[in-house]
Structure 1
Amino acid sequence: MAYDKYFLSERKPEINPERLESIIRHALIEDIGRGDITTQLTIPKDKEIKAKIIAKEDFLLCGIAVAEKVFKTVDSGVKFEPKIKEGKEIKAKKTIAVISGKASSILTAERVALNLLSLLSGIATKTREFVKELAPFKTKLTDTRKTMPGLRELQKYAVRIGGGHNHRIRLDEMILIKDNHIKAIEGYSKLPSVPAGYKIEIEVQNLDEFNHALHFKPDVIMLDNMQIDQINEAVKIRNSTEFKSHHLPTKLEASGGIFLDNIKKYAATGVDIISVGELTDSVKSVDISLDVV
């Protein structure tokens, strides 16, 4: 059975501590190299300072514990005092956290901590904007696997903090038969034997493919880049299909070409899920800074 079920999970969002430590250590090695020579040459070893992380725009905070972990990884003696809780909105010019300790440690950890904090907050903020558009509907918003290499777990965590849901996190979580699978096997007349505990999803691109896929009653059918009128028809067909009492109705997922300005139109069709790659693949980091005080 697969592990770490992310798909539409309702459990409290959290980050695996071991994977977080690995991500941070790799990021620090990438940034520091053989040492922070500027800090080493200009800052006395015993010099202590206090600094503040400041918001320079309005956004939804995500990754405060990640930022703290970065500073603590560089120097466990650094004190980190959050001034706002995870998942809360913060206004420009407000203090996010106060940090105190060795100047060399704080300045060396600064960039990695701010990079992760600003990226995750950007994802959470964008996700919240999409979620607000879906407020009148029952449709669930999910991310995709279009993430930055090495940062997928953090990015999917940020989507959850923003109020969205996760799609599968890895290829081992569920079966998703996409167009290239179907092309490679030149079509299909039956589904593979699915191991217990795994969901199966089939991607389709038109109503003919949809009707063929629905015949097998998979857990989910992805309506990829289909027009609104086609999606409306697919929903009608699904709703009129009889499912056995022990089999939940197939969920429908709209994907492709969906943005903030048109997501309501797709949700109004009655689909169960809308997946948006933009949540993680082209996100704008929020503007924050660290100022010594």
Structure 2
Amino acid sequence: MTQQTDSEGRLRHLLTLDGLPLPQLRALLDRAQAIRDGDASDRALAGIAVCTLFFEPSTRTRLSFQRAAQRLGADVLGFDASTSSTTKGETALDTLKNIEAMGVRGFVVRHSGDGEVAALAAAAGPDTALVNAGDGRNAHPTQGLLDMLTLRQAKGADFSRLKVVIVGDVRHSRVARSDLHALRTLGAGEIRVCGPAALLPADGTLGGCVVSHDLDAAIEGVDAVMMLRLQRERMEEGLIDSLDDYHRDYGLDARRLRRAAGDAVVLHPGPMNRGVEIDDEVADGPQSLILQQVANGVAVRMAVLETLLA
């Protein structure tokens, strides 16, 4: 993995939360909370160009990074792979190096390949900073940060008291991996993971977690429920029998949610498949923090861009 920090220990890129020291993780969360509370400079990145280099579709992540960079006063360049020279055979590395040659210092990169953002960071110039906006199944560090900020706002900074369950397609989810990295670093009291066996990884990702295939049991008494969508675009055929069966066994409805603690909160990284992994009454209900996650995403991404580029 590309080194994320420079020789003095400062964060140079943000590629993963795996191995990110607790003080740096907390500092990013603290800065994001300060921004949410109104402490933000609209000139922190004045004169600095930031490109959102997305080789996969995105709504929340791309737009919130653009909003974050704009709020910090950066010049923002959007990149659409479908109308770019990548359709003519240009590689991601050549794309990055050409845009870098235009004087762009910050890149927010989404790519379908595991480790591709780290490879681009390794080839970037010494004054260039990359943020991983999601690479394959590997990592989505800013989503992990905004999920932790949302949990901290709801439940306080002491994660050792928390029981959290992550439900669904963990096997294909970069969000789940970043959430697991962050929850472990923050010392979460109990991390449960629930899903059909075919959608849970068998590569050590779930080390230290309580693994279950019974959602009714896994949700019992938890403080937070983190739902995941079925990533059918990354999925081999036959991993689930049907969407109806999946909803029956692993969909979150109001009846199931009553098994959690009375003040439990519900998170979802989006996009939601309503009626598959989550019902409307939960997604739009009083325990849902889904739109709060989206709002926190702008603050977290401001904190990250400011830390790397200001």
Q: Same fold (TM over 0.5)?
A: no
Structure 1 or 2, whichever has the larger Rg, is 1
Q: Scaled by the length of structure 2, what TM-score is found?
A: 0.29
RCO higher in structure (CA 8 A, sep ≥6): 1
